[in-house]
Every structure is written in C-alpha cells, then in structure tokens.
A and B are shown apart, each in its own frame.
Chain A
Amino acid sequence: MWRTARKVLARLRTPLGALGAFLLLSSPAVARGRVALIVNASNPLSDLTSAELRRIFLGDETRWPGKQKITILLLPQGSDERKALLKALLKMSDDDFTRHWISRVFQGEATSGPKIAPSPASMAKLVAGLPSAVGMLDADDVPAGASGLKVLRIDGKAPNEDGYPLAR
C-alpha cells in the first residue's frame, strides 16, 4: 500500500502524472498489489497453473517443455513482490525458501538455486535477454509494451483479472 501511495504521490507532481495517478488508482492490478510472473517473449508458454509454478519454484520441475533448463529470477530478499510470491504460492517464509534450495542442492537434485535480480529494471532486462528465465515484477512495474517480455497468465487469469492467485 505504501509503495502504491508513493507512486501516486510521485505522479501527482505534473498534470500528465496526475492523469497517470488516476489510471494507477483505477487499475485493479495496482489496487490489489498483484505480482506478475514474466518470461522471455520467445517462451511458447503463456499460461501456467499454480501447481506448475509451485513445482518450478520448488525445483521439482527444472526444464521448460523444450528441455531448456529453467532460470528462476527473484527480486532481492525483503521485496514485497518476493514475499507475496512465496506466501501466496508456496506458503513459505524467505528463510524457509532459502533452506529448501540449500536442501535441494544438498540432495543432488539441483546444482544451484534461483538467481537474484537487484531491481525491477534489471529483472525486466534479464528476463528479456534470457530465453530460459522466469521472473517476477509488481504488475505495475511491467514496462508497457515491453519487447522481449511476456506476462504469464496463472490458472487462466491475467494479473488484472479477478481471481488472480498472486495478490499481496
């Protein structure tokens, strides 16, 4: 909520920004704080189920249907989007998630864990440049008309639709 409030205040500084703030507030994606999952535009998938995503983020499924190894990208620890994703999708704290991946590597079922993108901007850039990537952004941070990115539908829902499962 504070994040959205800050964005609204920032946009109120100019008339055009005020219009943006109005659109921001009227957007269901912003009002409800949705986390968008993004993949490279070349990825043939556009819709995944919550269960499939859960398996991917827990390392049970490590390859896309074309056998390419999945690269999981997360925002830094403590980010709202990351906390929301772990809570809504995995029912895990950040520490549990880290320990889970340490355990996966220790079990010999993975050789490394998810990678960290330091900021939303770098997340968008990395996913756009990595065909194997799946990443996360606040739905409001997905660059409009961004080339190279695709927002996944989850359980048939886009981030701005009712019933979208990754809400903060």
Chain B
Amino acid sequence: MSVSHRVGLLALGLLAANGLVAGPAVVWAQELPQTDDLGATEISMGRTPFALQGFGDVNYTADPPGEEQGGFSNGALDLFATSRLGDHWSALAELVFEADGNTLATDLERFQFTYEHSDAFRISAGRVHNPFLRWPITNHHGLFHQTTIDRPIIARWEDEPGLWPMHFVGLLSQGRLRGRAGLSYALGVGNGRGRVLDEVQVGSDANRQKAVVASLGLNPDAVPGLALYVAAYFDRIPAVSGSLREQDYTGSAAYVRGNVELRGEWSRLGHESVDSGINYKTTGWYALAAYRLSGLGGVKPCLLIESLNVADDEAFLEGAQDEEAWALGLRWDANRWVALKGDYRSRRLEGGDREGAIRFQLAVNF
C-alpha cells in the first residue's frame, strides 16, 4: 500500500468519524446542553462547522475501438470535506476512490489548511492542485462540474496518465486584488515531480530544488464572464532517466455567462536534460464551445477539440503518444444534482487510424 493510500484511508476514517458525529451535510457547531444545576456546559471539542459532499459518475461505452468490448465502468467516487476553523482558517480534504483496471484505488487528492487574511491574500499548506492549468482548477476531480464527459488530454491527472504536473505538496498563496480588472494571482512552492511521470512527492523531495508555480488572471468588470490566465511552472525533476530542468507555460481564456460556455487553453511542457542539454518540448491545447438551449429543457450541446504533440525521444514521457481528438456531445441536467451526458468521441493516436466511440455518463453531486 502506497503512502498516499495509507494517508487516504486515515483521512477517510477521520471523515467517516466526523460524519457520524456531524451527519452528511453542513452542520454548524452547537452549544451542548447544560450538564448540571449550575448551568455549566461541556467544553466543545473537535466540533467545527463541517461540510461533506460527494461527487460520482458511472459510464457506459458503446462499441469502443480496438479489442475492448463495450460496457459499464465505475467512475470516481469523490468525497470532499471542508471545515471553517474560525474567521480566517479552513481545512479541505478530497478523497477519491476510482477504478484501476478491475480493482479499486484510493487517493488523497487534496489535503490542505488555509489561512485567509483577506481576498487579496490567502495561503494554503499541504497537498494542493497545481494552479498551472485552468481546467483542473475549475473542475477538480468531480466530473459533475464539467460539461464534457472527459477531461481534455492536457488536463488528465498524473495517474490517468497525464503529462502535466497536477498536484504538489507545499505552500500556495492566492488572492484577488480589488479593482475593475479583476486581477488575481497564485504563487506556489512545493516538492514537484518525482522520479517517474506519475509520482507526486508526498512524503519527501528527492532533490533540493523546489517546484515553483506562478499565475496571473484577469476577470475584467467590462466583460462579465471573461477570464484570462497565464501561468509558468519551474522545477528540477530527479528523473530516473536523468535530471531534467522543467519550464512550462500556459495561456488560457474562458467566457462563461448565461447559456454560453467557451474555454480554450494552450500549454507547453519544456524539459531540458541537465546532462546532455537536449531540449524536449511537448505542447497541447483544447477548445470547448457549449451552449445551453433554454427552450429544450436546458440541453447543452458541446464540442471539444484537442491536440497533444509529444516531444520525440523523451524518456521521462515514455509511452506518451501524439493525439488528436474531438468530441461532440450533449449534457442534460435532470436537476441541480444530476447530469446526464452523451457524446461521440473521435481520436487519432500517433501513427494510427482514426477511431471513435459513443459514450454515456451519469454524473451526480450528493
């Protein structure tokens, strides 16, 4: 059992214990009843405002390409807890159970404590989502939040496997400055990537160089719904295949207002071998357009187009392939907690033929 699994199970135990005391909903601290005739009350221990939510999804793929047969698949069960610890402090934990082949894996995806001084400055410590790409920061692990069935290729989590650094353990400062530009920032320092692509260094860092991430965002008052972001990420990767300097850059734009949802993001991973000086550049992008049809029960057609171009011969990304894909789909919200999605996704992997599949997803928030 990995460290993350052990920590995950411990956190689940704590969540379950707290849930049994507090119930599966937002529960506010209450004064305990009087315990004696003098009107004394017990000291309240460990009972803080606590909220527990879940997200989950079940999927069905009809006629997938290749040797696979169509069928059902368990998506992820995402348990998410927050607790307000006074006026300035809060805690957050996100625990995900997901299918790993035909077994179940558990991951503590986020576990962070935050001090919020003001809207302009808050700082979190722990395992956080890297604020480098916008998609994972907007949707995190709950597929209920996103319009499409899939995450874009560049926004896949490390263990899916994805190529981008999505988590790190360390400190993350974020804030939003007052003003018409809606300027926001994030600045983080953490352990960064491990020796292999999907390793998040939870317990210790294999080298002295820390990963640094910085982002700037604009949400101008003049165009409500518009969000623009740029971000950069730097690290020294202690890769098994040889130490790498990492320099990644991202630019993104989104416009979400009323029935309209438009999102686009471009990102480049840059890895330079410390030994040989060889540069490897991997780029990826996606564009999403969706529009809710108010007159048709709120059905939301969407089109996602995406591309990944992997650096040739980079050992650290071994197994990754160029990929081009598009998905044309529909999302329908049965109510505010239940979403049904269906799409046809077509993709072409490096050197292969184009292949497609019809998929369905039931995504819920409970």
Contacts and interface: CB of A to CB of B under 8 A. Distances in A.
Interface of A: 49, 51, 54-55, 60-63, 67, 69, 91-92, 95, 98-99, 102-103, 105-108, 111-112
A60 B83 contact: no
A63 to B, nearest CB: 6
B247 interface: no
Given A61-B119, A99-B336, A103-B145, A112 B49 contact: yes
Contacts of B55: 106
A111 B119 contact: no
Given A67-B118, A108-B110, A51 B53 contact: no
A102 B333 CA distance: 15
B87 A69 contact: yes
B224 A54 contact: yes
B26 A106 contact: no
Interface stretch (B12-20, B64-72, B175-183, B265-273): B175-183
Interface size, B (range): 35 or more
A150 B114 CA distance: 33
Interface in B124-142: 124, 137-138, 140, 142
A91 to B, nearest CB: 4
Contact of A108 (B26, B53, B82, B176): B82
Instruction: List the 10 closest A-B pairs by CB distance, nearest first.
Output: A51-B221, A111-B84, A95-B336, A91-B258, A111-B82, A108-B92, A111-B90, A98-B336, A103-B145, A61-B119
Contacts of A61: 119, 176, 178
Contacts of A105: 51, 53, 82
B185 interface: no
B188 to A, nearest CB: 13
Interface of B: 26, 49, 51, 53, 55, 80, 82-84, 87, 90, 92, 110, 112, 114, 118-119, 124, 137-138, 140, 142, 145, 176, 178, 180, 182, 219, 221, 224-225, 257-258, 333, 335-336, 365
Given A67-B118, A111-B49, A91 B137 contact: no
Nearest to B114: A108
A30 B241 CA distance: 73
B51 A106 contact: no
A54 B226 CA distance: 13
Contacts of A107: 137-138, 140
Contacts of A60: 119, 176, 182, 219
B23 to A, nearest CB: 15
A162 B253 CA distance: 36
Nearest to A87: B258
Nearest to B172: A108
Given A62-B119, A67-B118, A99-B336, A108 B224 contact: no
Contacts of A102: 53, 145, 365
A54 B222 CA distance: 12
B180 A51 contact: yes
Contacts of A69: 87
Contacts of A54: 221, 224
Contacts of B118: 63, 67
B333 A95 contact: yes
Contacts of B176: 60-61
B41 to A, nearest CB: 23
Nearest to A92: B258
B224 A51 contact: yes
Contacts of B110: 108
Given A91-B258, A99-B336, A107-B137, 18 more contacts: A49-B221, A51-B180, A54-B221, A60-B182, A62-B119, A63-B118, A91-B224, A95-B333, A103-B138, A105-B51, A105-B82, A106-B142, A107-B140, A108-B112, A108-B114, A108-B124, A111-B82, A112-B26
